[in-house]
Amino acid sequence: METAFKSPSLVGFGDIKPMPAITGWEEFLQEGDAYLKTGHGAYAKSRAAFTPEILYNIIAMAIEKLVMATLMKQGQLPYNHTMYDLVEAMDDVFPESLVDIREDLLNLDKYQEICDIDHYNIIPPDSTEIPGMLNLASQLQDVVYGQIGEVRV
């Protein structure tokens, strides 16, 4: 007696259900915008308290918050919070979204390699590098708003 072989049904992309948003993504978006606004304002006013190192950290926080908001809205998280991990997660969730700024974002990791407590490395940026970092964060902000479909307030 011959038994008919029934192949298992294939799963297609249409069968994949989107992940629900992670609660709090809106706060991350607001915080990212606020950090970036602070960075732009502090640089424009040239206050001595806002050293290039402090401005770098404010800009890095803006970038981290903006990326996290975008990923969280999609129900995703990065493996870690280095620029490499944030960029990799964005590449996974939104392929090609960072094509114009990817390498510049990755280069931000060279200023602070602090994940390994025994072998950390901090190189403060030069003040001439801050405008480029602010511009980079603003470009990322444009990408983020394009991906999440929100209107800036």
Assign a CATH topology to domain 24-148.
Four Helix Bundle (Hemerythrin (Met), subunit A) (1.20.120)
At 134, list the tokens.
């602010």
- What are the pLDDT digits (tens) for 30-54? 999 999 999 999 999 998 899 999 9
At 11, list the tokens.
């799963």
At 106, list the tokens.
């990755």
Q: Rounded CA gap, 37 and 35, in Å?
A: 5
Q: Sign of dihedral through CA atoms 27, 144, 65, 50?
A: negative
Q: Rounded CA gap, 4 and 91, in Å?
A: 44
- What are the pLDDT digits (tens) for 8-25? 666 555 555 667 889 999
- What are the pLDDT digits (tens) for 57-78? 999 999 999 999 999 999 999 9
Indicate the range of 64-68, 110-114, 138-142 predicted with least confidence: 110-114
Q: Is 125 left (phi over 0), alpha (psi -120 to 50) or beta?
A: beta
